[in-house]
Amino acid sequence: MLKDEFNRVYSKFKLHFYQKVFEKWQDREASLTTVETFCMEIIYAANEPTVNEFAKIANLSSPNAAYKVNNLMKKGYLEKIQSTEDKREYHLRVTQKYLDYYNISYQYLDTVLTRLEDRFTPEELDVVKRVLKVMDEELMPEIPI
pLDDT, tens digit, 9 for 90 and up, residues 23-58: 766 555 567 888 898 899 899 999 999 999 999 999
Question: Does a structural domain hold residue 97?
Answer: yes
Mean pLDDT confidence for 130-141: 92
CATH of the domain at 40: 1.10.10.10
- Say whether 122 sits in a helix, a strand or coil: helix
Structural domain boundaries enclosing 37: 2-137
**Which residues on neighbouring strands pair with residue 78, listed in sequence order?**
94
- Give the contacts of 80 (CB within 8 A, at least 6 positions apart): 69, 73, 90, 91, 92, 93
% of the chain with per-residue pLDDT over 90: 57
Question: Does a structural domain hold residue 88?
Answer: yes
Question: Does a structural domain hold residue 143?
Answer: no
Q: How many structural domains does the chain have?
A: 1
Return mean pLDDT, the chain. Answer: 88
pLDDT at 32: 82
- Say whether 98 sits in a helix, a strand or coil: helix
pLDDT at 96: 93
